[in-house]
Amino acid sequence: KAGVTQTPRYLIKTRGQQVTLSCSPISGHRSVSWYQQTPGQGLQFLFEYFSETQRNKGNFPGRFSGRQFSNSRSEMNVSTLELGDSALYLCASTAAPTSTDTQYFGPGTRLTVL
């Protein structure tokens, strides 16, 4: 079974631009969560989607948004990029929120904002 895939793996943007990251969960998994990892703040929860609905949201500004499609693939968008948005963005999937399965992480997208 293929793991969680994230595209692109690396991205360089400039301040003020916007960016869209993509995550394909493990086949059959319907819950997708997003995390931001930075050296200063560590791993922080962004949001979680299940059945195309956002179920939980972390403490991030409205510039960070996401969505989930009917095939469970998810995208996250960051608008008006700031230097501090440079981070590794990790996506994780589970079968369902009520499942006892734990989250399986993708390799991440490394975003650099210049």
Token couple for 16: 């003020």
Q: Which of 23, 25, 106, 111 binds other proteins (CB under 8 A)?
A: 106
Binding mask 60-89 for other proteins (x = CB under 8 A): ------------------------------
Q: Identify which range of 19-27, 67-75, 78-86, 105-113 contacts other proteins by CB under 8 A.
A: 105-113
The CA distance from 27 to 25, in Å, is 6
The CA distance from 101 to 75, in Å, is 22
The CA distance from 15 to 71, in Å, is 32
The CA distance from 64 to 62, in Å, is 5
Note whether 31 binds other proteins by CB under 8 A: yes
Distance of closest approach, residue 80 Cβ to other proteins, in angstroms? 25
Cβ contact 4:23 at 8 Å: yes
Q: Count of residues binding other proteins (CB under 8 A)?
A: 28
Q: Which of 55, 69, 80, 112 binds other proteins (CB under 8 A)?
A: 55
Note whether 48 binds other proteins by CB under 8 A: yes
The CA distance from 48 to 92, in Å, is 9
Note whether 56 binds other proteins by CB under 8 A: yes
Of 79 and 95, the one with the shorter C-beta distance to other proteins is: 95
